[in-house]
Amino acid sequence: MTALEHDPQANREVPEAGLGRRGFLGWVMAGTTLVVAADLGLSRTAASAIPSLPQVPEVYDLEDLQTDAALPTANLITVTINTDGTASFALPRMEVGQGIVTSTAMILAEELDLPVEKVKVTLAPARPELLFNQLTGGSNTTFSTYTPIRVAAAVARRKLLDAAAIQLGTTVDRLTTTGGIVSDALGNTVAYGDLATSAASQVVEAVEVLLKSKAEHQVIGKPRNRTDARDAVTGRKKFTTDLDVPGALPTMVCRPPEHQGSPKRIRNKTQVLRLPGVTHVAMVDTGVAVRAKTFGQCIDAVRALEVDWNRGTVSGESDQTILAKLKAQELPMVVPQVPVLAQQVDTRFEFMFRSSAALEPYAAIADVRKDRAEVWAGLKAPIVAQGNIAAATGLRPDQVKVNVVTGGGSFGHKLFGDHAIEAAKVSKAMGVPVKLMWHRVDEPRQGRLHPMATSRVRATMLAGQVLSFEQRHTSVTTDFSHGLGEMITSLADELPTGLGGLGFAETIFTLTQELPYNFGVVTQLLNEPLEFEDKFSTGSMRNIYSPDTCVAAELTIDLMAKKAGKDPMQFRLDHVKNKRVRAVLEKVKKEGSWGRAMPKGMAQGVALHKEYKGATAVLVEIDCRPETVQRDLGKETYTGPRVTKAVIAVDCGLVINPRGVEAQMQGGFMDGLAMTLSASSHLRDGRFLEGSWDNYFYTRQWNVPPEGVEVHILESDSDTPGGIGEASVGSSAAAVACAYARATGTLPTRFPINHGQVRFKPKSFVPSMPASPTNGLKKTY
């Protein structure tokens, strides 16, 4: 354990007037043990150059506040100091593997001077009063919670010091805190746990605190393993289906063959009810649900069901018909007149549907009664889910309790409450608690998809100078009804100028796209034609638009470099916008030995991406030689071109946990790799063909770069953390695409590059689930 020790007053400049840059206002709540709080809205202060406290107006009367103790709690996050010396905090976000429980514990430990092991971070249930402040997405968790969490912790520490001063008969300035213990100069000590009660307040009280400076950090910035790692490797980590809620028996849904179809009629309900283990059969809008003693018996019952189905929302449509519709809707370029001597680079790329499903399928436990409901599920937007569940069950939102469970991955999939809403409907229809789980085949066929899109780019150059760079992205509608949309509506008046009149999708596109190059007049526009509204179950997928736009832009930049007679790396360095992007690019150039000689059929590729207040450069080496591409590792195994090595450099602002940043960069790389080379969903006659991991080709060990994925985290000037969960996806996808183009000498225009050929026999649509095999004992090793 790192020793946490610092003089409480050292390096803490007292603000001259009001609260300074690191000075903030927090609260001590009334309680029997020490409970402190800070306003979640404080994050906005940290983001702006000029500190201010818009969420705590000076006119706010403390008397009023004390009278109406409920009010301050409305937007607050609270930290409790327990009598056993631990601190507890319910994070209003969802852990899906991205490491925020660990990084949050580190942030609290830092400001509290408490060992990380003594900080207990749990996930808060849906708190409707937080409005838009309980959405885990857009790589925003640490950025938005960094300041308020530190303020709450600093208030707690301050109150513990006050209590210790009384107990030790001294003054606060003579006390130091280390590892959860307060000491005076004489060597007298008192533990936080012993102060928790005496530091408690009977009334709500406002407290001014100063946060530690970056230079004082002892925990933040040091590599730390995940707090839940031991539970994960011992099988003790609990996911939704691992929970034991009394009476909540396994439940699965027989789903329509067509995407977003619906059930018309069950033909053999009585027979299915007689099958072993089956307790209930009920029709809901998404299919026919079966509840049984085991999930295996649910699968058998679903396979036995005979159901008449209504057609889906894209009946008769296929990849080609949707692509044709998208093409017809592409926005025109605006470069009107190309100067006589100017050169033009025109490109157009197509991006196929992809499934954002995690390894843990959609699962939710629901217990819906006449007057109340309780739901357990992995949910990144639990408040929205709560509202939806209330609407679906005819209850008021305050009658619905939504418990947030750690998720087995999300990648955008758990932004939506589809599983929780469906479980609630099924529980209501059956009148019993249910533990609903989607079968794997349900996920790519009926679950959320990354929308199909096209991206056109036109660049003009004159005498080596880039005059303009235009990008037109046309996409099947992206569903933002998980809360981001409402957030935009509520902020309509505060958004930067130029966003007025744009829809949700266009606003998000504009807020996320930032071309990190000086290319003269740059325009990047999105069009999501209305004709696709509600046709597909879509959403963002580990990054929203960037993987596709970045691939299109970076491949075009390679062509521009070629036209200018420049090396692709040098061309990029000649045009980078600022020193942060230059630094990451220079880093991969050096560490990845850019320009080294490679055999024919192999090549390097480089790409750059800027988003979420950070910059990421990726350099890869790819092997497209026939002996590699045609590797035969047996059935159900797509090999193809192999990236042999990847080097990533990232400037993600202030780093909380470098080990977590490295993990996110490596994981994001695997997603980018799959998007470019192998993973997609095929639409044929209104049905998606893919059914499991043997035909949805997400990155597997045989695709992983054998020489590793090297991650370099650059020192950043920034005092605030950027987003890391998605930061490497776009640049990885693009670097792989650029390397592939250079190795093969052909420009790929459809992604993933293997989409043209269906390499598997689709699993049956009726019945909607495959039987589990029985030959497992023949496959032991």
Partner 1 sequence: MPKQTFILNGKPVTVDVKDDVRVLWVLRDLLGVTGPKYGCGINVCKACTSHINGKAFNPCSVKVGDLKRTDKVTTIEGLPATVGAKGDDLHPMQEAWLELDVAQCGYCQPGQIMAAVALVKKVRREGRDITEADLDRIRNVCRCGTYVRIREAIEKGARAMR
Residue of 433, 482, 386 whose CA lies nearest to 289 = 433
Here's the x/- map for partner 1, 427-456, by CB under 8 A: it reads as ----------x-xx----------------
Which range of residues in 103-111, 358-366, 476-484, 615-623 is near partner 1 by CB under 8 A? 358-366
The type of residue at 531 is E
Identity of the residue, 460 or 666, whose beta carbon is nearer to partner 1 in the bound complex: 666
Question: Which residue, 215 or 781, is less far from partner 1 as judged by CB?
Answer: 781
Tokens read off for 774 = 């029985």
Which are the contacts of 114, defined by CB distance < 8 A and separation ≥ 6? 4, 85, 87, 108, 179, 180, 192
Question: Other CB atoms closer than 10 Å to residue 340's CB: what's the count?
Answer: 6
239-261 burial, b at 16+ Cβ within 10 Å, e below that, comes to: ebbeeebeebbbbbbbbbbbbbb
Among 33, 167, 692, 720, binds partner 1 (CB under 8 A): 692
> Least Å distance between CB 542 and partner 1?
10
Tell me the window of 36-44, 117-125, 164-172, 408-416 that interacts with partner 1 (CB under 8 A): 408-416
Candidate list 234, 337, 630, 757; residue touching partner 1; CB under 8 A: 234
Among 515, 689, 704, 713, binds partner 1 (CB under 8 A): 704
Closer to partner 1 by CB, 228 or 306: give it.
Answer: 228
Among 6-14, 110-118, 583-591, 768-776, which window interacts with partner 1 (CB under 8 A)? 768-776
Quote the least distance from Cβ 652 to partner 1, whole Å.
17
Nearer to partner 1, 272 or 569 (CB): 272
Residue 226 interacting with partner 1 (CB under 8 A)? yes
From the list 58-66, 257-265, 476-484, 699-707, the region that binds partner 1 by CB under 8 A is: 699-707
Binding characters for partner 1, 252-281, by CB under 8 A (x = yes): ------------------------xx----
Please identify which residue in 143, 192, 295, 740 interacts with partner 1, judged by CB under 8 A: 295
**HEC profile for 528-597?**
CCHHHCCCCCECCCCCCCHHHHHHHHHHHHHHHHHHCCCCHHHHHHHHECCHHHHHHHHHHHHHCCCCCC
Provide, rounded to whole angstroms, the least separation between the CB of residue 771 and partner 1.
8
* 8 A C-beta contact, residue 52 and residue 67: no
Please identify, using beta-carbon distances, which residue of 295 and 571 lies nearer to partner 1.
295
Which residue is associated with the tokens 């207990």?
A: 120
* Residue 362 φ then ψ, to 5°: -50, 130
Q: Of the two residues 334 and 633, which places its CB atom closer to partner 1 in the complex?
A: 633
**Choice between 499 and 663, CB closer to partner 1:** 663
CB of 725 to partner 1, least distance (A): 10
User: Of 254, 127, 252, 108, whose CA–CA distance to 180 is shortest?
Assistant: 108
Residue 231 is a binding residue for partner 1 (CB under 8 A): yes
How is 711-766 classified by DSSP, letter by letter?
EEEPP-S-SSB---SSTTHHHHHHHHHHHHHHHHSS---EESTTTTS--SPPPPSS
Closest to 596 measured CA to CA, from 676, 730, 707, 677? 707
Helix (H) or strand (E) holding 351: strand 343-351
- Taking CB under 8 A as the criterion, the residue among 10, 14, 62, 232 binding partner 1 is 232
- The closest alpha carbon to 414, from 464, 452, 462, 379, belongs to 379
Indicate whether 237 belongs to the interface with partner 1 (CB under 8 A).
yes
Of 12 and 224, the one with the shorter C-beta distance to partner 1 is: 224
Q: Note whether 509 binds partner 1 by CB under 8 A.
A: no
Beta bridge partners of 278: 292
Q: Which is nearer to partner 1, 60 or 702 (CB)?
A: 702
Report 594-633 residues binding partner 1 (CB under 8 A).
633
Site residues (CB under 8 A) for partner 1, limited to 298-317: 299-300
Candidates 92, 97, 263, 752; binder of partner 1 (CB under 8 A) is 97
Closer of 468 and 666 to partner 1 (Cβ)? 666
Q: Least distance to partner 1 from the beta carbon of 279, Å?
A: 13
Cβ at position 247, least distance to partner 1 in Å: 13
Q: Closer CB to partner 1, residue 49 or residue 233?
A: 233
Q: Where are the alpha helices (DSSP H) in 274-410?
A: 295-304, 319-328, 382-393
CB of 781 to partner 1, least distance (A): 5
> Total residues contacting partner 1 (rule CB under 8 A)?
78
What are the angstrom distances between the C-alpha of 570 and each of 127, 467, 558, 565, 666?
51, 18, 11, 10, 26
DSSP 406: -
Q: Provide the mask over 635-674, with x wherever binding to partner 1 is found by CB under 8 A and - wherever it is not.
A: -x----------------------x---x--xxxxxx---
Q: Which of 52, 122, 294, 320 binds partner 1 (CB under 8 A)?
A: 294
Structure token digits, residue 500: 């007025």
591 near partner 1 (CB under 8 A): no
Provide, rounded to whole angstroms, the least separation between the CB of residue 96 and partner 1: 6
- Beta bridge partners, 78, equal 37
* Nearest-angstrom CA–CA distance, 275 and 304: 9
Residue with tokens 């930290």: 79
- Three-state DSSP string of 478-527: CCCCCCHHHHHHHCCCCCCCCCCCCCHHHHHHHHHCCCCECCCEEEEEEE
